[in-house]
Amino acid sequence: MRTDAPSVPAGGVASATPDRSGNPPRRRSPALRKAFPYLLLAPAMIYLLAITLYPGLFAIYQSLFVVKFLNWTWTGLGNYSQILQDREFWAALGNTALIGGISLTLQTAIALTLAYFAYRDPLIRGWRIIFLMPMLFMPSAVAFIWKLAFNDGRVISDLLMSVGLVDGNVDWLASVWLARMTLIVADVWQWTPFLFIIFVAALQGQDQEIEEAARLDGASWPEIFWNISLPMMRPVIVVAVTLRGIDITTMFTNVFVMTQGTPGGATETMSYFIYRQGFRMFNFGYASAASVLMLILTIIIAQTVVKRAFHSGKK
């Protein structure tokens, strides 16, 4: 029988409509049908739970104990109250905010400036890969490059000497602000491209007619950028900067390789503080508590920033 023949047989009695292959439709049990979407989601959920939720919950649990290897002693919120009185914690938080804040501000400003000059260049597709290079390097490799440039290899000192800005070798780790600056320079160098690429894409995605209208209205390129392009980019900027900001709060590799928190803890970031507590001093419970506090703080800040930025953007 042809599959596209009418489903009413010669006798005139209607039968159940067969599907294209001529078989009666398959029926799944109601329980299976209900479970089906969850089954499809299961692999991703299991993966997610295993790599994020379990360690997260474990850290929260561990933060309630004083942990010396296998010896766990219940302390409740003891770790937390101790941390909140720990000067090193507050110093690390301050350093993270300071180094991260300056670095993020510089990255955003540089990326926006570069994007402003670059996005109208029709050849940008060709050469933007050069901008991406720093981002493609391994963080530890980048940290070593800058460690060589600043300290061990004295490249920067030599360059500064050759243009006569300094007299002798600069000991970058001797001064609080110079040491912080090395971290900032390394971070800016590596991560400005991330923001740059996003900003260029946002600018190129804007309606060209609007730009042309502004030109005919008498606006110069900087005026167009300031009055129109930048406000229109606002949501993109907020998301990109928030992502980068979250990433910066976990700044570790550069500190570990370049400064180890010196001089006198002036470059110790939160991540390095947690690492030091956990893996140098083996206060796992204490380190977990600091991690949990950091997580809470990051969530609050990110939420506030994104919410405010998007709400005032509407109206």
Partner 1 sequence: MASIHLQNIVKRYGGFVGVQNMSLDIADEEFLVLLGPSGCGKTTTMRMIAGLEEPTEGQIVIGGEVVNDIDARDRDVAMVFQGYALYPNMSIYENIRFPLRMRGIPASEHDARIRKAAEMVELGSFLDRKPGALSGGQRQRAALARAVVRQPQVFLMDEPLSNLDAKLRQSMRVQIKHMQRQLKVTTVYVTHDQIEAMTLADRIVIMNKGAIQQVGTPDEIYSDPANTFVAGFIGSPPMNLIQGTARDGRFTAPGISVPCPRFVHGQVTLGVRPEDCHVGGDNLQGQVYGVEPTGDVTYLTVLGGTNKIEVKAARDYRSDIDVAIGIAFDPAHLYFFDESGQRIRGAA
Positions in the binding site for partner 1 (CB under 8 A): 207, 209-210, 212-220, 223, 227-228, 231-232, 234, 315
Rounded least distance, CB 197 to partner 1, Å: 23
Rounded least distance, CB 314 to partner 1, Å: 9
Rounded least distance, CB 200 to partner 1, Å: 19
Query: Of the two residues 4 and 209, which places its CB atom closer to partner 1 in the complex?
Result: 209
Please report, in angstroms and rounded to a whole number, the separation of the first and last CA atoms in the chain: 64
Q: Exposed, middle or buried, 269 (CB in 10 Å: 0-12/13-18/19+)? A: buried
β-partners of residue 72 are 67
**How far is 119 from 201, CA to CA, in rounded Å?**
8
- On whether the CB atoms of residues 261 and 255 are closer than 8 A, the answer is yes
Query: Of the two residues 30 and 218, which places its CB atom closer to partner 1 in the complex?
Result: 218
Query: Of the two residues 132 and 213, which places its CB atom closer to partner 1 in the complex?
Result: 213
Rounded least distance, CB 123 to partner 1, Å: 16
Rounded least distance, CB 118 to partner 1, Å: 21
Query: Of the two residues 295 and 309, which places its CB atom closer to partner 1 in the complex?
Result: 309
Query: Of the two residues 219 and 239, which places its CB atom closer to partner 1 in the complex?
Result: 219
Query: Of the two residues 9 and 205, which places its CB atom closer to partner 1 in the complex?
Result: 205
Rounded least distance, CB 206 to partner 1, Å: 10
- Sequence-separated (6 or more) residues with CB below 8 Å from residue 162: none
Helices (H), ranges, the chain: 30-48, 54-62, 78-84, 87-118, 124-136, 139-147, 155-162, 176-204, 208-216, 221-224, 230-249, 253-254, 270-275, 284-313
**How far is 171 from 28, CA to CA, in rounded Å?**
73
